[in-house]
Amino acid sequence: MQPIHNKKQMLKNNVKPNNGNNSYEQEDSSQFVGSFPKDFGYGPFDQEEDQNEPIPGEQKPRILLMGLRRSGKSSIQKVVFHKMSPNETLFLESTNKIIKDDISNSSFVRFEIWDFPGQIDFFDSTFDSDTIFGGCGALVFVIDAQDDYIEALNRLHLTVTKAFKVNTNIIFEVFIHKVDGLSDDYKMEAQRDISQRANDDLLDAGYDNIHLRCHLTSIYDHSIFEAFSKVVQRLVSQLPTLENLLNIFISNSAIEKAFLFDVVSKIYIATDSAPVDMQSYELCCDMIDVVIDLSCIYGLPVMRPDKPKDGIETSTFDKASSSLIKLNNGNILYLREVNKFLALVCILREDNFDRQGVIDYNFLCFREAIQKVFDLRSVEGSKEVANVPANGLNSTSPVSLNN
């Protein structure tokens, strides 16, 4: 796949790269994911639009990162949620205590990540299984695909059975990690072998209601972001509603694929029911990088009374953020801001973009419906939102472009 800046022909507002000196084309780290600046922050927003206030009575789900020493747990956490370059993770020290990280990036992504040391002893008297596993929403076990994974499978079985005895509602995921550089045949064989061995061991032990999902991951490409997206989606109780809204939106707008992204982590909170193509997902992630990079360079200065020095801050992603990128293959990438942490990124044919007004109107209806879902979530706390608002996108959308 070509880098996205080679495919880009036009940006909305006619902002052009400065002779190849943009931040996403600098240094060797530009070939890796997460290239936008580490100090990236959101611009100022109106108080009524700040939706990231804690919900009274909300219990944040907990994601546990477990695995053997040097399997890559801390690197995953740093790359996905702290924008660390994959090259920098080589200098991370081994984790020797539980590291807790509170993630509250968006209206729908609110959870804690606990990074566990690889040498943890579940039978130690100081290990409180009830406290650790009791409030756990998902357990991600990381296996180094480049090592002999027999010991890792034994530890996986012990971990899963111990956690399931405490909390039967835990979601179990396995990341077969560090697959970069391995051949496709070896990766597929490793995934099949690990999945079969792990699930067979659970069946033999009588845990026939536990099924482990395995993902091939690497911090040097977008596979780790896609895998974590699928983990987070299982913790979002509003996922069926969000998917339904996206399906209605794309069907009435002649859009081929749509992702609802958390901008900071590039995790997609939801997508439509069409299968996810890895290349399309990578393009959408790269588009977010381009938008943030260009906004950091050309963003308008905004006065912030609470900021030190001159009180001026560059607005990087706000309610006016949008972008349009035309690709050489006749497709269009279209990004619109949903709220200050979420963005909708769509893929559609250039021929279907001739009625942009209809798409924009449908998007406004979609954004209003998302707001209503969030309002219901705020009222009901952590209860599942079951119904789409009556005046949502399905009742206010204009006639489909196909009509």
How does pLDDT run across 180-236, given as a tens digit for each residue?
989 999 999 999 999 999 999 999 999 999 999 999 999 999 999 999 999 999 998
pLDDT 10s digits, 227-260:
999 999 999 888 999 999 999 999 999 999 999 9
Q: Is residue 403 part of a domain?
A: no
Q: Is residue 353 part of a domain?
A: yes
Do 44 and 157 fall within a single domain?
no
Do 70 and 101 fall within a single domain?
yes
| Contact partners, residue 25, CB within 8 Å, separation at least 6 | 5, 17
Q: How many C-beta atoms surround the C-beta of residue 251 within 10 A?
A: 16
Q: Is the dihedral of CA 225, 226, 228, 233 positive or negative?
A: positive
Q: Is residue 145 part of a domain?
A: yes
CA distance 103 to 240: 22
What's the total number of domains in the chain? Answer: 2
- Asked if residue 32 has pLDDT above 70, the reply is no
Do 101 and 35 fall within a single domain?
no
Do 28 and 128 fall within a single domain?
no
Do 152 and 137 fall within a single domain?
yes
Name the band, by pLDDT with cuts 50, 70 and 90, for residue 97. confident
Do 211 and 256 fall within a single domain?
no
Do 84 and 47 fall within a single domain?
no
Element (H, E) at 115: strand 111-115
Q: Is residue 13 part of a domain?
A: yes
CATH of the domain at 155: 3.40.50.300
Q: Are strands 322-326 and 301-303 parallel, antiparallel or unpaired?
A: unpaired
Residue scoring higher pLDDT (49 or 327): 327
Return the beta strands (E) in 116-238 as ranges: 136-144, 171-177, 213-216
CB-facing half-sphere around the CA of 128: CA atoms within 13 A:
7
| Contact partners, residue 140, CB within 8 Å, separation at least 6 | 63, 64, 65, 66, 173, 174, 175, 231
In the DSSP assignment, the letter for residue 11 is B
- Asked if residue 6 has pLDDT above 70, the reply is no
CA distance 330 to 25: 24
pLDDT for position 126:
76
Would you state the structure tokens that stand for residue 77, as one six-digit string? 């956490």
pLDDT for position 365:
96
Do 92 and 37 fall within a single domain?
no
Which of 233, 253, 286 is the last residue in one of the domains? 233
Q: Is residue 265 part of a domain?
A: yes
Do 246 and 285 fall within a single domain?
yes
CATH of the domain at 32: 3.30.450.190
Radius of gyration of the chain (CA): 22
The whole model's pTM is what? 0.76
Structural domain harbouring 162: 62-233
Which of 210, 233, 256 is the last residue in one of the domains? 233
Q: Is residue 401 part of a domain?
A: no
Do 342 and 228 fall within a single domain?
no
pLDDT 10s digits, 123-163:
677 788 888 898 899 999 999 999 999 999 999 999 999 99
- Element counts in the chain: helices (H) and strands (E): 10, 13
Would you state the structure tokens that stand for residue 297, as one six-digit string? 């360079």
Q: Decide if 87 contacts 161 (C-beta within 8 A).
A: no
Q: Mean pLDDT check: name the lowest of 48-52, 197-201, 282-286, 335-339.
A: 48-52
Q: Is residue 33 part of a domain?
A: yes
Classify residue 145 by burial, with Cβ atoms within 10 Å: 0-12, 13-18, 19+.
buried
Q: Are strands 111-115 and 62-67 parallel, antiparallel or unpaired?
A: parallel
Q: Are strands 136-144 and 171-177 parallel, antiparallel or unpaired?
A: parallel
pLDDT for position 49:
41
| Contact partners, residue 165, CB within 8 Å, separation at least 6 | 129
Distances in Å between the alpha carbon of 246 and those of 39, 340, 350, 362, 383? 31, 19, 20, 11, 21
Residue scoring higher pLDDT (285 or 103): 285
Do 277 and 334 fall within a single domain?
yes
Q: How many C-beta atoms surround the C-beta of residue 287 within 10 A?
A: 22
Q: Is residue 292 part of a domain?
A: yes
Do 160 and 41 fall within a single domain?
no
Which of 233, 251, 285 is the last residue in one of the domains? 233
